[in-house]
Chain A
Amino acid sequence: MKRTISVTVNGKVRRESVEPRLLLVHFLRDVLRLTGTHVGCDTSQCGACTVSMNGLAVKSCTILAVQADGAEITTIEGLARDGALHPIQAAFREHHGLQCGFCTPGMIMAAKQLLERYPAPTIEQIRDQLDGNICRCTGYHGIIKAIEAAARAMAEKGQAPTTGS
């Protein structure tokens, strides 16, 4: 019944045998023990489970682990490089983009995709693009400020966003 899959997660190749029905989010959380990716619903509304798969933001609760066979995945745990926070992570802290922190990993991964698509987004674009991510704590204000600030910081650093993970 079980199938062996090979997935590159945060730069490391992981070979595991999984049940075909296992959701990607549970593969990440329960098999790989990367618990930064959260589950907030069962109807793919909340976005807490957002990760980057082959450079695209996906809701990992809507994908089977076996569908990720051969894919490259970045989770919140893989965003900081050599101990240095990604500019989006730093901006979320600087601009109070989180309270309970539960939506935060998904928000940050969604923001990463957003900034790849719109390196200098307007506020309207940010609001629109966050449609698939719910935050119950912040009222989004700090999140929007953080994404604007991250866009500026990344532009200054010449960190041209790429579509790769």
Chain B
Amino acid sequence: MLGKAIPRKEDQRFITGAGLYVEDVQLPGMLYAAFVRSAYAHAYIRRIDVERARNVPGVVAVITGKEWPELSATLPELNGSVTLTSPYIDSVKVVPHHLFPEKACYVGEQIAVVIAESAYAAADGVEAVEVEYEPLPAVASWEEAIKPEAPRIHKGVDNTVAHLKHEVGDVERAFRDAEIVLEKRLETQSLKSMAIECRAVAAQWEEATGTLNVWSTCQFHYMLRSAIAGILKMPAEAVRVMARDIGGGFGLKGVLHAEDVIIPLIAYRLKRPLRWAETRMEHMTASNHSGRQVHDVRIAARRDGTILGMDLKMYKEVGAYDHFDMMLQINTINHLTTHYKVPNIRVEGWAIATNTSPGSPYRGAGRVEAVFTMDRVLDAVARATGLDPIDVRLKNIVTPADMPYRNGMIYRDGVPVTYDAIDFPLLLERAKQRAEYDLWRRRQQEYRAAGRSIGIGISSYVEAGGLGPCEGATVSIDEAGRVTVKVGVNSQGQSHETTLAQICAHALGAPIDDIQVLGGDTSLMNIGFGTGASRVAVNAGNAVYKAAVAVRRKVVALASGILGCTEDEVEIADGIVSVAGARQNQTTLGELARRALRDRRMADLGGPGLVATEFFYPKTVTWASGVNIAVVEVDRETGHVDILKYVFVHDCGLPLNPMVVDGQIRGGFTQGLGIALGERVVYDEEGQVRSGSLMDYYVPRAVDVPDLELDHVTFPTPDNPLGIKSVGESGPNSPPAAIAAAIEDALGGAVEINTLPVTMSAILQALRSS
């Protein structure tokens, strides 16, 4: 069952329209919320006139934050991130983020909420609220924000809200020894996760049980539970957060936004069910974005292509509230050297506040920026030395003989980054073969002679996944032999109901059709963390494995007593429990579950019933990796990029379900394609959003996506019982770098591509100015 490409268990409800997303939650007496949002990127809210709005038909209340003391609360400072312990950071200033601010610090920031009998009436109410602003000068880019005369986003706080530095080896010496020194400025844009379902939250106070029920699109439902319970001073158990069917997350929903907390607080006070669903326009303005990142990089190399050192300065826009301190930049640093040896490295980074919505991770979370930098550096060295880009890579690659290999970085969990049991040269060679690299290099010359511009780009990534601290799972068998797996994580489409059932079926010997996986509900497991950082397969997967093994142990102990055999002789397959070699002497998992309720032997086996809860604590992260090669043709007249071939070779350890792994890679690849060719959150100097809808923000359509040649290579990890690594954030990392490199190569060295995305107009502009 493990490793099989079986169709997904969760699909039935989605293909028939029976999924239950937050916006589908409808309760008797339900009210609907709509937010009044700041029209300015920076302004004092002087007066909110709600009188007219109160009289709008259907409007029940207008809340401005003064009504009840709990509305003056702030969001938890760090959204579940633990990076404050990072040894790289030497200063960080977290500014409290109020649910109802007195001063708006970005366009779209929530100012008031209208509660009404219908969503339409709530929207009417919002129209009728009059807000008097006192506009202040705004800064929308880090370049402006660091100027000494720049307006301060928060009174008395420098716009540079955090700083880090880290050095490995002796960078000064590397530059003294260098035969070649190169300098580049690289820029990557701010991005939106752009799940097709926007954010939503619904809440209901259940008087009979004293429970505040919350339905949320949040990826970290326990974090939301803590926040709500903390503000209302309720026991955590009195708040039940359900985050089950979620229409895509990709990081943006891994963050606590003010609405996630405000809606439950109001539902609790009004004692009426309340629902809010974000519009796409709100999503584009008020929801978080990933933040623009600029790298100034200097490289020291030898004429034979050996990289001696790298000196990197990183500038990151973190928006008005920095809930992740420097997590994204730390991710960039820890993934920076990918498959290569950079013996001497110095990094220094600044997190700079701007008058935009807060920054937060988007799938990849700093890895795209890392990979783009490393590959652009390797290609620059190739250009400077005249070597083939593959040869430069082979010159610097970490080989199996170097393993276990430490690059001098320290991961967010405090453990030194260590690669082991990975064959990077093999991945590169496989990609080279699959891409018919040498053939395309020859063709490139022939085509060039015919006036066609073909280019080849290579990129390598690593993906740390499976971040702790831990996850748990409870596996139980009922009297009919049905198995239930409960987990503390939730799904935004990752297929957990199938892959975790496969693990359980494998470990327990139960038929997969008899196994149901439940997650995304804080009432299932007392403690859980959630879904993000590519952590579910490793953490929850191994927890399910351990819990299923523990239940199996109970089954075997009980069955040996009942069947009159030794424990070694007990066999379990397809839900049938039998004695090896004696087929007639058998029972079923259901029958044993029934007996386990009253059988005294269970006293020594942990109590009644066939049930066990186990937690898995990873030692540190696992390292997945891959190599991408893109072959593109650029139309010099239009700037259009045609992807002729795209090879994606990767390792994610043992695949739980190859179909699901494929899906993760293809979906992630497509997001990377978007980053390469067009995705970009745009603010003007006033902090107004210029990418306010799906008409202004490029998202790849079916016509844009080339056929992907996928090649799975498996280097199992010894670090967890299942030998698995992460795959969720593998897809997007390399496509931007590979495609940018291929475009640069196609243009024959006429221009350097240092900025993402590489749009058609950017190509034309570059050609014109070259």
* Residues in chain A within 8 A of chain B (CB atoms): 19, 21-22, 26, 29-30, 33-43, 45-46, 48, 75-77, 79-80, 85, 89, 92-94, 96, 98-105, 108, 126-128, 130-131, 133-144
6 pairs of A and B residues whose beta carbons are closest in the complex:
A36-B17, A102-B247, A101-B14, A100-B493, A99-B493, A139-B670
If A36-B19, A40-B198, A80-B16 touch, whether A98 touches B701 (CB-CB below 8 Å) is no
Query: Which residue of chain A has its CB nearest to the CB of B659?
Result: A96
A90 to B591, CA, bound (A): 35
Contact in complex: A36, B120 (CB < 8 Å): no
Contact in complex: A134, B701 (CB < 8 Å): yes
A128 to B702, CA, bound (A): 7
Contact in complex: B247, A43 (CB < 8 Å): no
Contact in complex: B197, A35 (CB < 8 Å): no
If A77-B17, A136-B671, A139-B669 touch, whether A101 touches B10 (CB-CB below 8 Å) is yes
Contact in complex: A42, B281 (CB < 8 Å): yes
Could you list 16 further interchain pairs (A-B, Cβ under 8 angstroms) beyond the known A41-B280, A102-B195?
A39-B23, A77-B17, A92-B15, A96-B662, A99-B493, A99-B663, A100-B245, A100-B247, A101-B11, A134-B699, A134-B701, A135-B196, A136-B667, A137-B196, A138-B670, A142-B663
If A40-B280, A144-B702 touch, whether A102 touches B21 (CB-CB below 8 Å) is yes
Query: Which residue of chain A has its CB nearest to the CB of B16?
Result: A80
Contact in complex: A104, B15 (CB < 8 Å): yes
A85 to B491, CA, bound (A): 24
Q: What are 23 pairs between A and B in contact, CB < 8 Å? A: A26-B120, A29-B24, A30-B118, A35-B21, A37-B17, A40-B197, A41-B693, A43-B693, A46-B280, A92-B11, A93-B7, A93-B11, A96-B8, A100-B195, A100-B245, A100-B491, A101-B493, A130-B702, A134-B699, A136-B699, A137-B248, A140-B670, A144-B702
A34 to B26, CA, bound (A): 11
Give the residues in chain A near B196, CB-CB below 8 Å: 38, 40, 46, 48, 100, 102-103, 134-137
Distance (whole angstroms) from the CB of A33 to the closest CB of chain B: 6
Distance (whole angstroms) from the CB of A144 to the closest CB of chain B: 7
**CB within 8 Å: A-B pair count:** 182
Distance (whole angstroms) from the CB of B256 to the closest CB of chain A: 21
Question: Is B500 close to A, CB under 8 A?
Answer: no
Give the residues in chain B near A35, CB-CB below 8 Å: 17, 20-21, 23-24, 26
Contact in complex: B18, A36 (CB < 8 Å): yes
Residue B667 contacts which of A29, A36, A94, A139 (CB distance < 8 angstroms)?
Answer: A139
A126 to B491, CA, bound (A): 29
Distance (whole angstroms) from the CB of B338 to the closest CB of chain A: 23
If A39-B23, A40-B196 touch, whether A136 touches B250 (CB-CB below 8 Å) is yes
Contact in complex: A38, B694 (CB < 8 Å): no
Give the residues in chain A near B668, CB-CB below 8 Å: 139
Give the residues in chain B near A128, CB-CB below 8 Å: 703
Give the residues in chain A near B24, CB-CB below 8 Å: 29, 35
A134 to B701, CA, bound (A): 6
A108 to B195, CA, bound (A): 18
A19 to B695, CA, bound (A): 28
Query: Which residue of chain A has its CB nearest to the CB of B245?
Result: A101
Give the residues in chain B near A134, CB-CB below 8 Å: 196, 694, 699, 701
Question: Is B708 close to A, CB under 8 A?
Answer: yes
* Residues in chain B within 8 A of chain A (CB atoms): 7-8, 10-21, 23-24, 26, 118-120, 193-198, 245-248, 250, 277, 279-281, 491-495, 659-660, 662-663, 666-671, 693-695, 699-703, 705, 708
Give the residues in chain A near B492, CB-CB below 8 Å: 100
Contact in complex: B705, A140 (CB < 8 Å): yes
Contact in complex: B702, A127 (CB < 8 Å): yes
Give the residues in chain A near B21, CB-CB below 8 Å: 35, 38, 102
Give the residues in chain A near B703, CB-CB below 8 Å: 127-128, 130-131
Distance (whole angstroms) from the CB of A10 to the closest CB of chain B: 10
Residue A141 contacts which of B194, B279, B695, B708 (CB distance < 8 angstroms)?
Answer: B708
Residue picked from A19, A33, A141, A143, most chain B C-beta under 10 Å: A141
Contact in complex: B7, A94 (CB < 8 Å): yes
Query: Which residue of chain B has its CB nearest to the CB of A98?
Result: B14
Distance (whole angstroms) from the CB of B17 to the closest CB of chain A: 2
Residue picked from B18, B279, B663, most chain A C-beta under 10 Å: B663
Contact in complex: A131, B702 (CB < 8 Å): yes
Query: Which residue of chain B has its CB nearest to the CB of A43?
Result: B693
Query: Which residue of chain B has its CB nearest to the CB of A135?
Result: B196
A85 to B13, CA, bound (A): 11
Give the residues in chain B near A141, CB-CB below 8 Å: 662-663, 666, 705, 708
A92 to B17, CA, bound (A): 13
Contact in complex: A42, B280 (CB < 8 Å): yes
Contact in complex: A21, B15 (CB < 8 Å): no
A42 to B663, CA, bound (A): 28
A138 to B250, CA, bound (A): 13
Give the residues in chain A near B666, CB-CB below 8 Å: 138-139, 141-142
Distance (whole angstroms) from the CB of A21 to the closest CB of chain B: 7
A46 to B8, CA, bound (A): 24
A126 to B703, CA, bound (A): 9
A19 to B24, CA, bound (A): 21
Give the residues in chain A near B195, CB-CB below 8 Å: 100, 102, 136
Give the residues in chain A near B197, CB-CB below 8 Å: 38, 40, 100, 102
Contact in complex: B670, A99 (CB < 8 Å): no
A133 to B194, CA, bound (A): 14
A22 to B120, CA, bound (A): 8
Give the residues in chain A near B663, CB-CB below 8 Å: 96, 99, 137-139, 141-142
Give the residues in chain A near B660, CB-CB below 8 Å: 96
Contact in complex: B19, A93 (CB < 8 Å): no
Give the residues in chain A near B18, CB-CB below 8 Å: 36, 77
Query: Which residue of chain B has its CB nearest to the CB of A34?
Result: B17
Residue B15 contacts which of A39, A98, A135, A137 (CB distance < 8 angstroms)?
Answer: A98
Distance (whole angstroms) from the CB of A68 to the closest CB of chain B: 17
Distance (whole angstroms) from the CB of A127 to the closest CB of chain B: 4
Give the residues in chain A near B8, CB-CB below 8 Å: 93, 96
Distance (whole angstroms) from the CB of A36 to the closest CB of chain B: 2
Give the residues in chain B near A80, CB-CB below 8 Å: 16
A130 to B660, CA, bound (A): 23
Contact in complex: A101, B701 (CB < 8 Å): no
Distance (whole angstroms) from the CB of B523 to the closest CB of chain A: 23
Distance (whole angstroms) from the CB of B259 to the closest CB of chain A: 17
Query: Which residue of chain B has its CB nearest to the CB of A45?
Result: B694
A21 to B667, CA, bound (A): 37
Contact in complex: B246, A100 (CB < 8 Å): yes
Contact in complex: A30, B26 (CB < 8 Å): yes
Give the residues in chain A near B19, CB-CB below 8 Å: 36, 101-102
Query: Which residue of chain B has its CB nearest to the CB of A123?
Result: B707
